[in-house]
Each structure stands twice: as structure tokens, then as C-alpha cells.
């Protein structure tokens, strides 16, 4: 049974927002169980849409923040939930200041959502900027994106996104969700991922790592002797103790962090 069937019947999903509304109650229940929301936590939902997950979360907690870009859906949410239960931020999550929801002494944010496929990777990277005020994230994403997030070195899916996110989160693929769980049904499979912020790396700036990964993975099939190592040489940074015939996907996260630390130092240019 669709928990919001009447509302779905009068709202047409918009392609420009990548809208696919979660409709399967069993999937909603599984996501809420994975999140395990508790009273007093500061929970933020990105893209509440027609409120399938919103309603299930509000059955467990008294208050929720939500970020919604679609003004029609925002109006529906305001008419359905009073502000003391749902604080709605009508905004683009790619531009929203999540730090504004944090407060001194308050619990860190728990961010959840069924993310549109067309903005999922940029949004995940954007959220790195706010991780100091975030405890964890639970997202529904395209399955291939989740496979990239959790991929191990020397596998097909291991790449820039794997290294970047695993450097700052403990990531875990929870379960898959079939297309028929959504209205309208997407043409791809989905998965739910848990991302716990690594507190031991909060002081690290992601920028040096992003620069190093861009230099190496832009031509991921080439050996690092023709991509990464010349790039480091040009910066005056030391070469890592790695086999120069390695390809980027063969280098583990710890090694990439070490390379980024070296590359981020203010070495004089040669």
C-alpha cells in the first residue's frame, strides 16, 4: 500500500529534480530501522518529497529538519506538518549551509535522504565541508554510486569517490532497493549506504587529497609514473615509496592520504 497515494496522484515527478518517490512501506521501515532515530537527536532529511520517510521518522522523533528544493512539495509539507514538528528549509541542498542547523552543545546532525541520482555525487562531496557538525549520513543512492563509495582497492569500482569518502567516513552498504519500490520507477537499482564521520580526521582539509586524486584518476588506466609522479615533481613534492608501474586504483586509502599530506606541504617549485 502506498502511504501517500492520494498525494502522489496529484503531483507529477519532475525530471529536472530527478524525482523518484519512495513508495514501499517495507523499504521505508528498513531505512528507519537502520537509522534508529532517537528523541533529542538533530535529524535532517534532504529531499523529503511526498514524505514517506518523513512521516516514518516523525513517528519516532518529535521534530525534524528538511531541505526541499521543489516549492510545490514544500507547500504540501507545510500544510501537512506544523513547524514545531517539521522545520522546512526551501533550498537547494547543493547550496544549503548545513552548519546553520548546528548549535553549540547540541547533538551533531544526522543527515538522511533519498538523493536524486543527478546530484548525488556532487552533494556527497559538498557535504564533506560540513562533516564537523555531522555524526552520520544514511542515503538512498543509485546502486552503482554506492558500489563506488564502498569499493576496495584493485577493483573495478574503486576510484576517486571511493578514496575521498572512505578517507573521511566509515562507509557501509546496507541493502539494495528495487526500482518497483519507487513511483515513478527508475531505470536503475538503488542501495542504502551508511556513512559515519571519522572524528580522527576532522582536522584534515580534503582539498589536497582532491587535487592529488584528480591528477591521478583523470587517466586512471595509466601508470602513476606518467600521471601522479610527474605532477608531484612539478610541485616539488617528494615521490611516495610506491612502485611507479602501479595504477591509481591499486593504491589504498592510507597511501593516498600520505601522498596528499606530502603534496599539500608548501614545497618550493623546481
> What is the reported pLDDT for 205?
94
Q: Using the predicted structure, report yes or no on whether residue 66 has a pLDDT greater than 80.
A: yes
Confidence of residue 268 (pLDDT cuts 50, 70, 90): very low
For the chain, which domains are there?
A: 5-201 (3.40.50.150), 206-263 (1.10.8)
CA max distance for the chain? 67
pTM above 0.75, yes or no: yes
What's the angle, vertex CA 83, arms to CA 80 and CA 84, rounded to 5?
115
Q: Using the predicted structure, report yes or no on whether residue 251 has a pLDDT greater than 80.
A: yes
Backbone angles phi, psi at 145, to 5 degrees: -70, -45
Number of other CB atoms surrounding residue 191 within 10 Å: 20
Burial 102-130 (b: 16+ CB within 10 A, else e): beeeeebbbbbbbbbbebbbebbbebbeb
Q: State pLDDT tens for residues 80-127.
A: 999 999 999 999 999 999 999 998 899 999 999 999 888 899 999 999
Number of other CB atoms surrounding residue 165 within 10 Å: 24
Residue 21, judged by CB atoms within 10 A of its CB (0-12, 13-18, 19+), counts as buried
Distance CA 175, CA 140 (A): 10
Provide the phi-psi class of 112: left if phi over 0, else alpha when psi is between -120 and 50, else beta.
Answer: beta
Q: Using the predicted structure, report yes or no on whether residue 19 has a pLDDT greater than 80.
A: no
Amino acid at each position: 500500500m502506498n502511504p501517500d497515494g492520494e498525494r502522489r496522484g496529484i503531483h507529477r515527478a519532475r525530471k529536472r529534480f530527478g524525482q523518484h518517490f519512495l513508495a514501499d512501506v517495507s523499504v521505508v521501515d528498513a531505512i528507519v530501522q537502520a537509522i534508529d532515530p532517537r528523541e533529542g537527536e538533530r535529524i535532517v532529511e534532504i529531499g523529503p518529497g511526498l514524505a514517506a520517510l518523513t512521516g516514518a521518522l516523525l513517528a519516532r522523533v518529535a521534530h525534524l529538519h528538511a531541505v526541499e528544493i521543489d516549492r510545490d512539495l514544500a507547500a504540501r509539507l507545510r500544510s501537512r506538518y506544523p513547524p514545531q514538528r517539521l522545520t522546512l528549509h526551501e533550498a537547494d541542498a547543493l547550496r544549503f549551509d548545513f552548519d546553520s542547523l548546528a548549535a553549540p552543545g547540541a547533538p551533531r546532525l544526522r543527515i538522511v535522504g533519498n538523493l536524486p541520482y543527478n546530484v548525488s555525487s556532487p552533494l556527497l562531496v559538498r557535504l564533506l565541508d560540513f562533516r564537523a557538525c555531522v555524526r552520520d549520513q544514511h542515503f538512498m543512492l543509485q546502486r552503482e554510486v554506492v558500489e563506488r563509495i564502498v569499493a576496495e582497492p584493485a577493483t573495478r569500482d574503486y576510484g576517486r569517490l571511493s578514496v575521498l569518502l572512505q578517507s573521511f567516513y566509515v562507509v557501509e552498504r546496507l541493502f539494495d532497493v528495487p526500482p518497483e519500490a519507487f513511483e515513478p520507477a527508475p531505470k536503475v537499482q538503488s542501495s542504502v549506504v551508511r556513512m559515519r564521520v571519522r572524528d580522527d580526521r576532522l582536522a584534515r582539509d580534503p582539498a589536497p587529497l582532491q587535487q592529488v586524486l584528480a591528477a591521478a584518476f583523470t587517466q586512471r588506466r595509466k601508470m602513476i609514473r606518467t600521471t601522479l609522479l610527474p605532477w608531484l615533481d612539478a610541485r616539488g613534492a617528494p615521490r611516495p615509496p610506491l612502485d611507479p608501474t602501479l595504477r591509481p586504483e591499486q593504491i589504498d586509502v592510507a597511501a593516498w592520504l600520505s601522498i596528499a599530506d606530502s603534496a599539500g606541504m608548501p614545497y618550493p617549485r623546481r
